[in-house]
Structure 1
């Protein structure tokens, strides 16, 4: 399945719009990841634990979106948008949402 942020894809013209599809992932920040991120902030560098968590959450959200599109019989999801939010009273949860339009492609 083709996943694109663009409104069109080179693989074919949109012949039918099937609807909006989405996927979400919420991941809690781990106490040790928070500790090491704090150290990284002090000494500089990248926060690898958070980067891995972001990638994992993004991959889950995209997979859920793709699965929903597949159930509709889509060939592609176009206009994909990714949103990142923190949740919870102390911002300890990360939510990633992927949304786009499921479509059938024609010649």
Structure 2
């Protein structure tokens, strides 16, 4: 079994310099982060006056890194060498006073020749 950090990920349909032997399965990873009330308020102030919200960018980066790590682990558990056609989806979930950030990564786990 490949070590998760050795799993190659790409948004392309193939891995450069490699030949895909077979497609194994679709793999996915999800991360849901609660967004802090003060961070939300600060981000809204930034939206009104312009500028970048470093706290929101940090939360997005952390969530993206988490789903990429989990995607590699999913692929490694299926004895894959890589994941092709990776997509990242971001969604804000709110309601009932809760603001959440959902990040989902999906792709096709493959075995290389």
Q: CA RMSD in A?
A: 1.3
**Higher mean C-alpha deviation, range 31-40 or range 51-60:** 31-40
Cα deviation, 1:11-51, whole Å, max 9, x if unaligned, reads 31110111000000000110121121122123221011111
Q: Give the alignment of 1:11-50 within 5 angstroms.
A: 11-50=17-56
The match for 1:78 is 84
Look up the SS of the partner of 1:7 in the other structure.
Answer: coil
Q: Is the 8 A contact 2:34 2:98 kept in 1?
A: no
Q: Give the TM-score taking structure 2 as reference length.
A: 0.87
- Give the alignment's TM-score, normalised by structure 1: 0.92
Runs of 4 or more, structure 1, over 6 Å off, are none
- The reply to whether residue 98 of structure 1 matches residue 105 of structure 2 is yes
Aligned pair partner of 1:7 in 7, 13, 18? 13
Structure 1 unaligned residues grouped into runs of 5+: none
Report the number of matched residues.
Answer: 106
SS in 1 for 2:71: helix
